[in-house]
Amino acid sequence: MSFFLSSTLTDVIFTSHPDNVSCSGVSYVGISDHSLIFVFRKISLPFTVKGSSTVSYRQFKNFDRNRFRSDILAQPRTDLMGIDSPNEMWLKWKSLFLEVCDVHVPLRTKHVNASKSPWITSEVKNLMYRRDRLKMKALRTGDPRDWSNFKKLRNEVNNSIKNAKKS
């Protein structure tokens, strides 16, 4: 479980899956005495059973947190001051926020084949998830034991997929 603390923390984001978080932080926007806390979560959308479709997503590979924060702070807060309704104020803030997101992490679309691979079972998915976590750990630490653990699980995933395809 991950969490962030400060001496005056009033808003909290907890997660039991920190690997599903691509970016998080606190933004001091100045429109309130509270800072904006944010988290960008990696999600996977369910596929339709037949046919194909397009998926919209934001790629954070080249995301620059400091430039993003700077551009959020540069947004005109005067547009929010004259609004009495919290719902209208939220919609306006969301609009300003998404404009900055579109500059720094533009929406991309990708054509995907929606038919599932029948050999990718929940057990195989679980192994793949564990493999990916071990790879991230090995990349982070550089420890030969972590790399060895990753390679063993990678081979186990490959063998599980081969066996599932055969059956």
Q: What is the pLDDT of residues 5-51, one digit of tens each?
A: 555 666 777 788 878 887 777 776 555 556 777 788 777 655 444 55
| Interval 101-123: pLDDT, tens | 999 988 888 887 755 677 888 88
Whether the pTM exceeds 0.75: the reply is no
Q: Helices (DSSP H) in 105-143: which residue ranges?
A: 122-141
In the predicted model, what is the mean pLDDT of residues 90-103? 89
Amino acid 50: pLDDT: 55
Local structure of 110: helix, strand or coil: strand
How does strand 36-41 pair with strand 52-58? unpaired
Local structure of 108: helix, strand or coil: strand
Question: Residue type at 29?
Answer: V
